[in-house]
Structure formats: C-alpha cells, structure tokens
Copies of this chain bind each other. A is one copy, B any other.
Amino acid sequence: MRKRAEKRLSQTKTIYEMQAEICSALAHPIRIQVLEILSNGEKTVGDLLEVLQVPKANLSQHLSVLKDVGVIQTRKEGLYHYMSLSIPKIKDACSIIRTVLIEKVANEEKKNIEIIRELKAQR
C-alpha cells in the first residue's frame, strides 16, 4: 500500500485512482446527505447542522473531505461559511447511485419471489 505523502508526491494519479477518490468522498452517509442538501442550493454549516444531527466538529471534518476532493466549495461572509456544490454534475452522480440502489433492491425482491415460487412448487 502506498503512503499518502508518497501518493501526493507522485502526482501522476491514474484516472482510476482519481475516480476512486471521488467515490471515497461519497462513501459516507453524512456526506451523501450533505450533497443532497446542497443540491438545493448554498447553505451555511449551521444550516446543515440543523438538519444533520451530528457534532459540529464531526460535520466539519466531513465537509473538509468533500472540499479536499473538490466537489464542494466555500464562500466566507462575516461569521458564516457558505457551502455549495462546485461540480453541479455531482447531483446526477448521486441520483444515479440512488437509482442503482433502487434497482438493486428490486432485484433482490424479484429473487426472493422466485425462491418462494420454487419452494412452493416443490411441495
């Protein structure tokens, strides 16, 4: 396994590594929710905190994961930090993942029904 510093040095990330990084950033329920909320427009960290019942420090860490990978951006105005999607297409990605999920559940349902049918036929 390569060390993080080494990775940063080598610069030459493959397209697969970059894709994987984006997926890693999406790989947490809180971060998925953040993206969903932000897809309705710019929000402050406080706005997000009202919806997501998590400690402030924890949310802040998740936001920095999203920032690091470049899918959200920050604008500071006085005391408030406004967060927004920096890549609008990320919305599509999320909704496709959701669709995949729904198909998956449907798939499992179908399989279960088949199994039940077979079991009935055996009696």
Q: Hey, which bits of chain A sit against chain B, CB under 8 A?
A: 14-20, 22-24, 26-33, 70-71, 86-87, 89-90, 92-94, 96-101, 103-104, 107-108
**Measured CA separation A81–B32 after assembly (Å):** 34
| 13 extra A-B contacts, CB within 8 A, seeds A19-B29, A19-B94 | A15-B101, A18-B101, A20-B27, A20-B31, A20-B32, A23-B97, A24-B27, A70-B107, A71-B100, A87-B107, A89-B99, A90-B100, A92-B96
Which residues of B have CB within 8 Å of A87?
100, 103-104, 107
Q: Are B18 and A33 in contact (CB under 8 A)?
A: no
Q: Residue among A94, A100, A107 with the most chain B CB within 10 A?
A: A100
Chain B nearest CB, measured from A115 CB (Å): 15
Q: Are A20 and B29 in contact (CB under 8 A)?
A: yes
Chain B nearest CB, measured from A4 CB (Å): 15
Which residues of B have CB within 8 Å of A26?
19-20, 23, 27
**Measured CA separation A104–B18 after assembly (Å):** 10
Which residues of B have CB within 8 Å of A92?
96
